[in-house]
Amino acid sequence: MLDQRPEDIRRITCIGAGPIGGGWAAHFLAQGYQVTSYLHDESEHQALTRLLETAWLSLKKIGLAEGASLDKFTWTTDLAKATQEAEFIQESIPEVLALKQELYRKLGEIVDPRVVIASSTSGLSMTDIQAKCSTPERTVIAHPFNPPYLLPLVEMIGGEKTSPKTVEWTEQFYRVAGKEPLVMKKEIPGFIATRLQEAIWREALHMVANGEATVEQIDQAVVNGPGPRWALMGPCEIFHVGGGEGGMANCLDQFGPALKLPWTRLVAPELTPELRKAMIDGCIEMTKGKDFASLSKKMNDGLVEIAKIKRANKHE
Amino acid sequence: MLDQRPEDIRRITCIGAGPIGGGWAAHFLAQGYQVTSYLHDESEHQALTRLLETAWLSLKKIGLAEGASLDKFTWTTDLAKATQEAEFIQESIPEVLALKQELYRKLGEIVDPRVVIASSTSGLSMTDIQAKCSTPERTVIAHPFNPPYLLPLVEMIGGEKTSPKTVEWTEQFYRVAGKEPLVMKKEIPGFIATRLQEAIWREALHMVANGEATVEQIDQAVVNGPGPRWALMGPCEIFHVGGGEGGMANCLDQFGPALKLPWTRLVAPELTPELRKAMIDGCIEMTKGKDFASLSKKMNDGLVEIAKIKRANKHE
C-alpha cells in the first residue's frame, strides 16, 4: 500500500493465470512474498500449477530469497477474496480494453485505494484502462518481459489520472522486489523494448517475404552474431565500445554515413549535432565514464561465459 | 587450397592487423593453425600483439584446440612473403574499394590460384572487389562479427566471377575451423545480421531524437528484456516458442494484427498466406519439429545461466 514502505510489502495478488500472470506469481514467490492468484476459471488451476513447478526449477538454480516457498501460494476464483488482503496487485488479464475497464471499475470499488494496481498490458494505455475506475490515482502500467521470473525488465508509465506518487512508489517497490523498472518519459506505442524487438522482427519478415534469407538463416545470424552481445550490453553501449578509445563519438563519425545506406528498410533520422551530442553524452553518463579497456573487458568476459553455455548446450 | 581437404589446411595468412584482422588471427591461432599476419606498417605490430594477448586470455577460458599456441604466430610487412606459404587467406583491410581492388589485383598475380582469398568486408560487393583480379574464381566474401574470436558468425557470398566450388569449399573450411558460416541466397546491402542490428539501431536513434527514450533507457530495455533471449535463440524461434503449443502459427494468428500497429517506424510487409507458411514451415524445419516443452526448457535453462552470469557481474 502507498502508505507502507515498499520494503514492508508482504502480500501480493496476481490477477490472471496465463503465462504472464503465472510468471509474475512465480517471480514474487521466489522473492519470498505471500502470493494469491485470481483465476477467471477453476479449470486454469492445473496449467498454473505446472507453470509454477517448472519455473521453480529455474528459480532454485538462480537462488531463492530467504523464506521463499511454494507453500506461500494460494488461489481463488473469487475476486473480492483474492484482493481483500492484498498490499499490491499485478493485473495480467487478456489484452481486451473492455475487459480491463470492467475489471478496473470493480477493483476501484472493492480494493483499498492505497493499494497500487499495476497492469502488465503491452499495448493498451492506462488512460483508457482507468477510464471507468473510481480510484484511478493508484493504477499504473508495469509491462514485464516473458518469462517475468527470468527477465527483469518492467516498463512503467501512468495514465492521465495516475498520481506521480504511485509511479514513484511502484518503481521503488519493483526494485525491492528484484525487478529492473524503467519509467518511460512518454507513452509511445509498443513502449521501448517491444519497439526495438519489433523493428528486428519486421526486417526479418521482409527478408523472408523477398526470398533474401530463410527463417533459419535469420536466427543463425542473430544467435551467432549480435545476439550474445545484446545479453550483456544494449545497442548504444555496444557501439560505444565498438568505437574503441574514441567511443560513441568515433563510432558516429566513422559509421554515421552508413545511416544513408539501405542497410534495413527503416529510414534513419538525420544525424543532427543535437542527436550526435545526445548519443555521446548518454553513453558517457550511462557507463559512468568507464574507459574502453574496462568496458571491452566486461563485454569479452561476458561473451566467454555465454560461449561456454552454448558449447555445453551443443553437447547435450 | 581448393585441392586440399578443408581438414588438412594448416597455414593461414591474415591480411590486415586491425580489430578484425587481428581478431581473425587470434581465432585461427586458438584453433591450432600456423598464422602469418601481413601488416601494412611495422608500427601496427604493438597494437596487434596487445590484441592477441588480450584475446588469448578469453580463448584459454573457452578452451584452446590441441597444439594451439601463440608461438605459431609470425608477422611481416612483405606481402609476397606473407602469402607465399598460405593455404588460406583472410583479408581484413580498410573498407575502401580502390584499396581492396588494388590488393586483389596483386594477390591475383602472386598467390597460387588454388588458395582461397576471403574478404571480411561488411559493405562492399565481391563483384566489385574482384574486378581487377586475374584469378577471381577463388575470391569470396566472408564477413565476421566482432570480435571474430568470440562470435562464430561468418556471412558468405561470392561475386559474379566466384566459382561455386570456392563458396562450398570455404563454407566447409570455416566449419572445420570452428566458425558458423552462413551462405546467403542473395547479396543484400548489409547482409543479414547487420541489417537486423541496423533496424534496432535506427529505431533507437529515432527514439532519442524524439525525446521518447534516453540512451540508457534503450540499453536497459534491451539488456533486461529481449537481449538475453537473443543470445540463445533468434527472433523467429523466440516467437515460435512464444506461441506456446501452437508455435509460430499461433503467434502469427494472434499477433499478426500487431503488424498494423505503429510499434516501430518500420512498416511491416503484408502477412500473405505465402509468408505465413514460410515462417511456420521455416520454424518447424529449423527446430526439427521439437515440441514446445523441450524448446521452452532450452530457452529457460539458457536464461538461468545468463541470469547467473549477470548476477555475478553485478557484484564485481
Chain A CB within 8 Å of residue B239 CB? yes
Cβ contact, residue pair A259, B205, below 8 Å: yes
Chain B CB within 8 Å of residue A171 CB? no
pLDDT higher than 60, residue B24: yes
ipTM of the complex: 0.95
Chain B CB within 8 Å of residue A150 CB? yes
Query: Å from B289 to nearest chain A CA?
Result: 13
pLDDT higher than 80, residue B313: no
Torsion, CA B309, CA B312, CA B315, CA B316, rounded to 10: -90
Task: Give residue B111's pLDDT.
Answer: 98
Q: Which of A19, A218, A265 sits opposite B266 (nearest CB)?
A: A265
Chain A CB within 8 Å of residue B284 CB? no
Distance CA B265, CA B229 (A): 23
> Out of 2.40.240.20, 3.20.20.70, 3.40.50.150, 3.40.50.720, which CATH number does the structure's domain A6-183 have?
3.40.50.720
Strand partners, B157: B141
Task: Give residue A258's pLDDT.
Answer: 84
Distance CA B207, CA B262 (A): 13
Q: What is the pLDDT of residues A175-193, one digit of tens each?
A: 999 999 999 988 899 999 9
Task: Give residue B255's pLDDT.
Answer: 80
Q: What is the pLDDT of residues B256-303, one digit of tens each?
A: 888 888 889 888 899 999 999 999 999 999 999 888 888 988 899 999
Q: What is the pLDDT of residues B169-184, one digit of tens each?
A: 999 999 999 999 999 9
Given a contact cutoff of 8 angstroms between Cβ atoms, the answer to whether B1 and B114 are in contact is yes
Query: Å from B292 to nearest chain A CA?
Result: 13
- CA B263 to centroid of chain Cα atoms: 28
Q: What is the pLDDT of residues A48-92, one digit of tens each?
A: 999 999 999 999 999 999 999 999 999 999 999 999 999 999 999
Percent of chain B with pLDDT over 70: 99
Nearest-Cα residue of chain B relative to residue A180: B224
Alpha helices in chain A (DSSP H): 19-30, 45-62, 79-83, 97-110, 126-129, 164-176, 193-209, 215-224, 227-230, 235-242, 247-255, 273-286, 292-314
The mean predicted confidence, pLDDT, of chain A is 94
Q: What is the pLDDT of residues A246-286, one digit of tens each?
A: 899 998 998 888 888 888 988 889 999 999 999 999 999 99
The number of beta carbons lying within 10 Å of the beta carbon of residue B155 is: 25
Task: Give residue B93's pLDDT.
Answer: 96
Task: Give residue B257's pLDDT.
Answer: 81
Residues from chain B contacting residue A301 (CB–CB below 8 Å): 58, 313
Percent of chain A with pLDDT over 90: 81
First to last CA, chain A: 47
- Across the range B181-200, mean pLDDT stands at 94
Interface test with A, best of B157, B217, B252 (most A CBs within 10 A): B217
Given a contact cutoff of 8 angstroms between Cβ atoms, the answer to whether A13 and A52 are in contact is no
- Across the range B18-37, mean pLDDT stands at 97
Cβ contact, residue pair A209, B269, below 8 Å: yes
Q: Which of B192, B205, B237 sits opposite A213 (nearest CB)?
A: B192
Lookup result for grid cell 584452446:
B64
Given a contact cutoff of 8 angstroms between Cβ atoms, the answer to whether A12 and A90 are in contact is yes
Residues from chain B contacting residue A180 (CB–CB below 8 Å): 220, 224
Q: Convert chain B into a string of H (helix), E (strand) and C (coil).
A: CCCCCHHHCCEEEEECCCHHHHHHHHHHHHCCCEEEEECCCHHHHHHHHHHHHHHHHHHHHHCCCCCCCHHHEEEECCHHHHHCCCCEEEECCCCCHHHHHHHHHHHHHHCCCCCEEEECCCCCCHHHHHHHCCCHHHEEEEEECCCCCCCCEEEEEECCCCCHHHHHHHHHHHHHCCCEEEECCCCCCCCCHHHHHHHHHHHHHHHHHCCCCCHHHHHHHHHHCCHHHHCCCCHHHHHHHHCHHHHHHHHHHHHHHHHHCCCCCCCCCCCCHHHHHHHHHHHHHHCCCCCHHHHHHHHHHHHHHHHHHHHHHHCC
pLDDT higher than 80, residue A106: yes
The mean predicted confidence, pLDDT, of chain B is 94
Distance CA B109, CA B133 (A): 8
Q: Which of A151, A282, A305 sits opposite B216 (nearest CB)?
A: A282
Task: Give residue B293's pLDDT.
Answer: 87
Q: How confident is the model at residue B316 (pLDDT cuts 50, 70, 90)?
A: low
Cβ contact, residue pair A193, B225, below 8 Å: yes
- CA A241 to centroid of chain Cα atoms: 25
Chain A CB within 8 Å of residue B204 CB? yes
Task: Give residue A85's pLDDT.
Answer: 96
Lookup result for grid cell 566513422:
A254
pTM value is 0.94
Task: Give residue B315's pLDDT.
Answer: 56
Task: Give residue A315's pLDDT.
Answer: 56
Distance CA B123, CA B130 (A): 14
Interface test with B, best of A62, A146, A214, A222 (most B CBs within 10 A): A222
Q: What is the pLDDT of residues B130-155, one digit of tens each?
A: 999 999 999 999 999 999 999 999 99
Query: Å from B306 to nearest chain A CA?
Result: 7
Task: Give residue A244's pLDDT.
Answer: 84
Residues from chain B contacting residue A261 (CB–CB below 8 Å): 123, 189-190
pLDDT higher than 80, residue A316: no
Cell of A58: 529455474
- A 62-121 → B contacts, CB under 8 A: 62-63
C-alpha pair distances (Å), A302 with each of A65, B234, B245, B308: 25, 19, 32, 11
pLDDT higher than 80, residue B201: yes
Task: Give residue A221's pLDDT.
Answer: 97
Residue limits of CATH 3.40.50.720 in chain B: 6-183
